[in-house]
A and B are shown apart, each in its own frame.
Chain A
Amino acid sequence: MSAQKGYLPDTEEGLRFFPEQASTFAGDLDFLFIGLVAVCAVMTLLVFGLIVAFTYRYHASRQKPREALPSARTSHRIELSVLGAMFVIFMGLFAWSTHLYLDLYRGPEAAMTINVVGKQWMWKVQHPDGVREINTLHVPVGETIELRLTSEDVIHSFYIPDYRIKHDAVPGTYRKLWFEATKPGQYRLFCAEYCGSYHSRMRGKIIALDPADYQRWLDDQGERETPEVRGASLFRSYGCSGCHLGSSNVRAPSLAGVYGRPVPLASGGTVMADEAYLRDSILQPQKHVVAGFSPIMPSYSGQIDEGEILSIIAYLQSLEPEDQALNPSDTTRGSAMPEGTAQGESP
Chain B
Amino acid sequence: MSTPSLEQRWPRDHYLSGGFRLRDWLLTTDHKRIGWLYFASITFFFFIGGIAALLIRLELITPGGDLLSPDTYNQMFSMHGIIMVWFFLIPSIPNTLGNFLIPMMIGARDLAFPKLNLLSWHVYTIGALFVVLTVLLGAVDTGWTFYTPYSTLFTETAVLAAATGVFVVGFSSILTGINFMVTLHKMRAPGMSWMRLPLFAWATYATSLIMILATPVLSITLLLIAVERLFGIGIFDPALGGDPILFQHLFWFYSHPAVYIMILPGMGVVSELITCFARNSVFGYKSMVISIMAIALFGFLVWGHHMFVAGQSMYAGVMFSLFSFLVALPSAIKTFNWTATLYRGRILLTAPMLYAFSFIGLFTIGGLTGIILAAMAIDVHVHDTYFVVAHFHYIMVGGMVTAYLGGVHFWWPKMTGRMFSELWSKVAALALFIGFNLTFFPQFILGYLGMPRRYHEYPADFQLLNVMSSLGAGALAIGYLLPLVYLTWSLFRGKPAGANPWGATGLEWQTSSPPPKHNFVQIPRVSEPPYAYRNQDQETTG
Instruction: Assess whether B378 is in contact with A172, with CB atoms less than 8 Å apart.
Output: no
Contacts known (A86-B329, A154-B149, A199-B455); A69 close to B450, Cβ less than 8 A = no
The answer to the question of B527 belonging to the interface, with a C-beta cut-off of 8 Å to chain A, is no
The answer to the question of A341 belonging to the interface, with a C-beta cut-off of 8 Å to chain B, is no
Instruction: Assess whether B154 is in contact with A196, with CB atoms less than 8 Å apart.
Output: yes
The answer to the question of B310 belonging to the interface, with a C-beta cut-off of 8 Å to chain A, is yes
Contact residues in B for A19 (Cβ distance below 8 Å) = 448-450
Contacts known (A44-B365, A60-B279); A69 close to B149, Cβ less than 8 A = no
Q: Annotate B452-473 by CB proximity to A: 1 below 8 A, 0 otherwise.
A: 1111111111001000000000
Instruction: Assess whether B371 is in contact with A79, with CB atoms less than 8 Å apart.
Output: no
The answer to the question of B221 belonging to the interface, with a C-beta cut-off of 8 Å to chain A, is no
Instruction: Assess whether B385 is in contact with A194, with CB atoms less than 8 Å apart.
Output: no
The answer to the question of A113 belonging to the interface, with a C-beta cut-off of 8 Å to chain B, is no
The answer to the question of A75 belonging to the interface, with a C-beta cut-off of 8 Å to chain B, is yes
The answer to the question of A165 belonging to the interface, with a C-beta cut-off of 8 Å to chain B, is yes
Q: Which residues of A, 58-73, contact B by the 8 Å Cβ criterion?
A: 58-60, 62, 65-67, 69
What CA separation (Å) do A105 and B311 show in the bound complex? 10
What CA separation (Å) do A34 and B328 show in the bound complex? 19
Contact residues in B for A37 (Cβ distance below 8 Å) = 372
Report the interface size class on chain A: 35 or more
Q: In this complex, what residue of A is CB-closest to B457?
A: A2
Instruction: Assess whether B337 is in contact with A155, with CB atoms less than 8 Å apart.
Output: no
Instruction: Assess whether A59 is in contact with B329, with CB atoms less than 8 Å apart.
Output: no
Q: Annotate A1-21 by CB proximity to B: 1 below 8 A, 0 otherwise.
A: 110111000111111111100
The answer to the question of A97 belonging to the interface, with a C-beta cut-off of 8 Å to chain B, is yes
| The residue from A43, A65, A190 contacting B450, defined by CB atoms under 8 A apart | A190
What's the minimum C-beta distance from B77 to chain A, rounded to whole angstroms? Answer: 9
What CA separation (Å) do A153 and B147 show in the bound complex? 13
What's the minimum C-beta distance from A36 to chain B, rounded to whole angstroms? Answer: 5
The answer to the question of B309 belonging to the interface, with a C-beta cut-off of 8 Å to chain A, is yes
| The residue from A12, A98, A190, A301 contacting B239, defined by CB atoms under 8 A apart | A301
Contact residues in A for B322 (Cβ distance below 8 Å) = 94, 98
| The residue from A32, A155, A159 contacting B375, defined by CB atoms under 8 A apart | A32
The answer to the question of A24 belonging to the interface, with a C-beta cut-off of 8 Å to chain B, is no
| The residue from A40, A58, A167 contacting B346, defined by CB atoms under 8 A apart | A58
Instruction: Assess whether A60 is in contact with B347, with CB atoms less than 8 Å apart.
Output: yes
What CA separation (Å) do A301 and B241 show in the bound complex? 11
What CA separation (Å) do A33 and B447 show in the bound complex? 13
Instruction: Assess whether A1 is in contact with B380, with CB atoms less than 8 Å apart.
Output: no
| The residue from A86, A104, A167, A199 contacting B456, defined by CB atoms under 8 A apart | A199
Q: Which residues of A, 219-244, contact B by the 8 Å Cβ criterion?
A: none
Instruction: Assess whether B360 is in contact with A51, with CB atoms less than 8 Å apart.
Output: yes
Instruction: Assess whether A165 is in contact with B534, with CB atoms less than 8 Å apart.
Output: no
Instruction: Assess whether A200 is in contact with B70, with CB atoms less than 8 Å apart.
Output: yes
Contacts known (A43-B364, A55-B347, A287-B241); A1 close to B378, Cβ less than 8 A = no
The answer to the question of B325 belonging to the interface, with a C-beta cut-off of 8 Å to chain A, is yes
Contact residues in B for A162 (Cβ distance below 8 Å) = 450
Contacts known (A153-B154, A173-B238, A199-B454); A33 close to B378, Cβ less than 8 A = yes
The answer to the question of B191 belonging to the interface, with a C-beta cut-off of 8 Å to chain A, is no
The answer to the question of A78 belonging to the interface, with a C-beta cut-off of 8 Å to chain B, is yes
Q: Annotate B137-157 by CB proximity to A: 1 below 8 A, 0 otherwise.
A: 000010100010110011100
Instruction: Assess whether B381 is in contact with A194, with CB atoms less than 8 Å apart.
Output: no
Contact residues in B for A47 (Cβ distance below 8 Å) = 335, 339, 360-361, 364
The answer to the question of B127 belonging to the interface, with a C-beta cut-off of 8 Å to chain A, is no
Q: Which residues of A, 258-289, contact B by the 8 Å Cβ criterion?
A: 283-284, 287
Q: Which residues of B, 63-99, contact A by the 8 Å Cβ criterion?
A: 63-65, 70-71, 74
Instruction: Assess whether A97 is in contact with B283, with CB atoms less than 8 Å apart.
Output: no
Q: Annotate A145-180 by CB proximity to B: 1 below 8 A, 0 otherwise.
A: 000000001110101011011111011110100000
Contact residues in A for B449 (Cβ distance below 8 Å) = 16-19, 161
Q: Which residues of A, 182-210, contact B by the 8 Å Cβ criterion?
A: 188, 190-201, 203
What's the minimum C-beta distance from B436 to chain A, rounded to whole angstroms? Answer: 15
Contact residues in A for B283 (Cβ distance below 8 Å) = 75
Instruction: Assess whether A90 is in contact with B371, with CB atoms less than 8 Å apart.
Output: yes
Q: In this complex, what residue of B is CB-closest to A191?
A: B452
The answer to the question of B321 belonging to the interface, with a C-beta cut-off of 8 Å to chain A, is yes
Contacts known (A44-B364, A172-B244); A104 close to B377, Cβ less than 8 A = yes
The answer to the question of B343 belonging to the interface, with a C-beta cut-off of 8 Å to chain A, is yes
Q: Annotate B528-542 by CB proximity to A: 1 below 8 A, 0 otherwise.
A: 000000100100011
Contacts known (A60-B347, A194-B147, A196-B155); A105 close to B332, Cβ less than 8 A = no
Instruction: Assess whether B287 is in contact with A79, with CB atoms less than 8 Å apart.
Output: yes
What's the minimum C-beta distance from B434 to chain A, rounded to whole angstroms? Answer: 15
What CA separation (Å) do A105 and B314 show in the bound complex? 7
What's the minimum C-beta distance from B240 to chain A, rounded to whole angstroms? Answer: 9
| The residue from B65, B310, B372, B461 contacting A168, defined by CB atoms under 8 A apart | B310
Contact residues in A for B455 (Cβ distance below 8 Å) = 199-200
Q: In this complex, what residue of B is CB-closest to A10?
A: B459
Contacts known (A2-B65, A51-B357); A66 close to B321, Cβ less than 8 A = no
Instruction: Assess whether A86 is in contact with B332, with CB atoms less than 8 Å apart.
Output: yes
Q: Annotate B365-377 by CB proximity to A: 1 below 8 A, 0 otherwise.
A: 1001101101111
The answer to the question of B349 belonging to the interface, with a C-beta cut-off of 8 Å to chain A, is yes
Q: In this complex, what residue of A is CB-closest to B74?
A: A197
What CA separation (Å) do A102 and B542 show in the bound complex? 63
What CA separation (Å) do A16 and B347 show in the bound complex? 43
Contact residues in A for B344 (Cβ distance below 8 Å) = 58, 66-67, 69
Contact residues in B for A51 (Cβ distance below 8 Å) = 339, 342, 357, 360-361
Instruction: Assess whether B335 is in contact with A101, with CB atoms less than 8 Å apart.
Output: no
Q: In this complex, what residue of B is CB-closest to A2?
A: B457
The answer to the question of A304 belonging to the interface, with a C-beta cut-off of 8 Å to chain B, is no
Instruction: Assess whether A200 is in contact with B377, with CB atoms less than 8 Å apart.
Output: no
Contact residues in B for A66 (Cβ distance below 8 Å) = 344-346, 537
| The residue from B243, B380, B460 contacting A166, defined by CB atoms under 8 A apart | B380
Contacts known (A43-B368, A55-B347); A166 close to B384, Cβ less than 8 A = yes
Contacts known (A33-B372, A78-B340); A97 close to B329, Cβ less than 8 A = no
Apart from A5-B457, A94-B322, A197-B71: 14 A-B pairs, beta carbons within 8 A: A6-B457, A13-B459, A44-B365, A94-B374, A102-B318, A120-B154, A155-B150, A161-B449, A172-B238, A192-B384, A196-B150, A196-B155, A200-B455, A301-B239
Q: Which residues of A contact B (CB under 8 A)?
A: 1-2, 4-6, 10-19, 28-29, 32-33, 36-37, 40, 43-44, 47-48, 50-51, 54-55, 58-60, 62, 65-67, 69, 75-76, 78-79, 82-83, 86-87, 90-91, 93-94, 96-98, 100-102, 104-105, 120, 153-155, 157, 159, 161-162, 164-168, 170-173, 175, 188, 190-201, 203, 283-284, 287, 301-302
Q: A-B pairs with the 4 shortest C-beta distances?
A: A161-B450, A172-B238, A97-B375, A54-B342
A–B pairs, 12, beta carbons within 8 Å: A2-B459, A28-B377, A36-B372, A59-B346, A59-B347, A69-B343, A82-B336, A98-B321, A100-B377, A165-B380, A173-B238, A201-B70
Q: Which residues of B contact A (CB under 8 A)?
A: 62-65, 70-71, 74, 141, 143, 147, 149-150, 153-155, 238-239, 241, 243-245, 278-281, 283-284, 287, 309-311, 314, 317-318, 321-322, 325-326, 328-329, 332-333, 335-337, 339-340, 342-349, 357, 360-361, 364-365, 368-369, 371-372, 374-378, 380-381, 383-385, 445, 448-450, 452-461, 464, 534, 537, 541-542
